[in-house]
Structure 1
Amino acid sequence: MNVIVLLAFILCLLMVAIGGKQGVRSFLSLFLNFGVLFVTIFLMTNPKNSPIILTFVACTIISCISLFYINKTNSKTITAFISTMVTIVVLLLFITFVTKKLMIQGFGEESTEEISIFSLYIGVDFVQIGASVIIMSTIGAIMDVAISIATSMHEIFYRNPSISRKKLFTSGLNIGRDILGTDTNTLFFAFFGGYLSLLIWFKDLSYSIGEIVNSKVFSAEMTTIFCAGIGIALIIPIASSVNAYYLIRTREKTEKLS
């Protein structure tokens, strides 16, 4: 426990030293987002509550904390928030459909020994829980891309106020293409880092490549990576179009008033 407190203290010092007041807000937002996740998980245990609706509400609150609380309310965070919400809605519908078709919900046979003493009749829809887990795993990457594109496009617009909407949108896409590869690889290596022990266990049990690929644990995590990649790919044109529309619309209103 002392090590955890020490690491948290070091992280806080670094974030304050580098980010100043914004670093303090970023550090506090970690605990705020954790609180949102904790309350969401607690509410999901009630069969009367829909995990999908709870996930959407949680993602909305997390987006508000991560965008408006840390970076304050401005045109960049507003467009990033709108882009994030549009992408989340599309992903919720898509991921719910995918989890039903792939049947990756629940526990794999690798977890049989650990859960054998517990009752599985808990009245919770594991299909929706599976979809919620995937969405929660992607929200951070989606917001990261959304604010990166919003900030870059705003800077391009202010440097070149006469730029056309088409060129501004194309610039957003070009920025997104550079982000796409790195963020997708980040998710991929985060999976292998978190599940390295599982892969070693697969090797010790002499799993074949086919058995590894078809195991529920591996399939569920790969589905999460692919869905997160789809979310990152979707947010690029969505954020580019939202920012291009907002910036050009603002310029047109300014010209009319003048």
Structure 2
Amino acid sequence: MNVLVWLAAILFILMIVIGGKKGARSFISLFLNFGVILLITLIMADPNANPIILTIIGCTIISCINLFFINKVNSKTKTALLSTAITIVILLIFINQVTKLTMIQGFGEEEIDELTIFSLYIGVDFVKIAASVIIMSTIGAITDVAISITSPMLEIFNQHPTISRRDLFKSGINIGKDILGSNTNTLFFAFFGGYMALLLWFKDLSYSIGEIVNSKIFGSEMITIFSAGIGIALIVPIASWINAYYLVRTREKKKVK
């Protein structure tokens, strides 16, 4: 416990020294997001609850915390939130179908020994739970990309007030291209870092490459990575178009007045 407190204290100090007030808000947002995820998880245990609706609510709250609480309410955070919402809805429909087709819901055979003492007849829809888990795993990356696009686009617009909507959209796409590769690789290495012990276990069990690829645990995590990558790819044109449309339309309205 003392180690956790010290690590949290070091992180808090570094975030304040480097980020100032925004760094402090970012640190507080970690605990707020954790509270939201914990609350959503507890409610999902109710068989009468709809995991998809809860996921949309949870993602909306987390997005508001990450965007409005940290970066305050302004044009770039508003367009980033709208872009995130549209992307999440598209992803939910897509991932729900992928989960049904690939049948990655539930537990893998590697987890059976630890679950034998528990009852699996808990009355919840594991397909929707699996889709919800994937979405909740990607929401941070999606909001991060959204604000990383809308913020520099606003700066470009302020420096070039007469820029056309098309050129501003192209600028957003070019910014997104640089972000796309780095964020996708971040998700990929986060998977291997978090599941290094699992890969070592596969080696100890003498799993072949085919057995590893076809295992439910490995497959579900790879689908999570690919789904997150799809979400990051989708948010780039969506955020670029919405932000370009909003900024140029606001400029035109001011001219009319």
**TM-score of the superposition, structure 1-length normalised?**
0.99
Q: What residue is the counterpart of 1:208 in the other structure? A: 208
Q: Distance in 2 between matches of 1:65 and 1:134?
A: 20
Name the counterpart of 2:52. 52
Corresponding residue SS for 1:20: helix
Question: What does residue 252 of structure 2 align with?
Answer: 252
Task: Tell me the residue number matched to 1:20.
Answer: 20
Q: 2:149 corresponds to which letter in structure 1?
A: I
Alignment-derived partner of residue 135 in structure 2: 135
The secondary structure found in structure 2 opposite 1:163 is coil
Worse-superposed segment, 20-29 or 185-194: 20-29
Could you report, residue by residue, the CA deviation over 1:209-249 in whole angstroms, capped at 9, with x for unpaired residues? 10000000000000000000000000000000000000100
Letter in 1 for 2:135: I
Q: Distance in 1 between matches of 2:171 and 2:70?
A: 26
- 1:128-207 to 2 correspondence within 5 Å? 128-207=128-207
The match for 2:41 is 41
Gaps of 5+ in 2: none
- What per-residue deviation string (whole Å, max 9, x for no partner) do you get for residues 128-185 of structure 1? 0000000001000000100000001001111111111111101100110010000000
Could you tell me how far apart the structure 1 residues matched to 2:96 and 2:46 are? 19
Q: Tell me the residue number matched to 1:110.
A: 110
Whole-angstrom CA distance in 2 between matches of 1:171 and 1:17: 32
Structure 2 counterpart of 1:123: 123
Does 2:230 correspond to 1:227?
no
Shift of 1:23: 1.2
| 1:95-124 superposed Cα distances (whole Å, 9 cap, x missing partner) | 001001100000000001000111100111
Distance 1:32 1:140 in 2: 13
Give the Cα–Cα distance (whole angstroms) in 2 for the partners of residues 170 and 75 of structure 1. Answer: 19
Report the Cα offset of residue 17 of structure 1: 1.0
Identity %: 70
Q: TM-score, normalising length from structure 2?
A: 0.99
What is the CA–CA distance in structure 2 between the aligned matches of 1:242 and 1:145, rounded to whole Å? 14
Match of 2:80 in 1: 80
Q: Which runs of 5+ in 1 are unaligned?
A: none
- Provide runs of 4+ in structure 1 moved above 4 Å: none
Superimposed CA distance per residue, residues 39-93 of structure 1 (whole angstroms, 9 cap, x where no aligned partner): 0000000010000100000000000111001111001110111100010010011
Amino acid at match of 1:139: I
Distance in 2, Cα, partners of 1:137 & 1:35: 15
CA-atom RMSD, angstroms? 0.5
Following TM superposition, by how much is the alpha carbon of 1:24 offset from its aligned partner in structure 2, in angstroms?
1.2
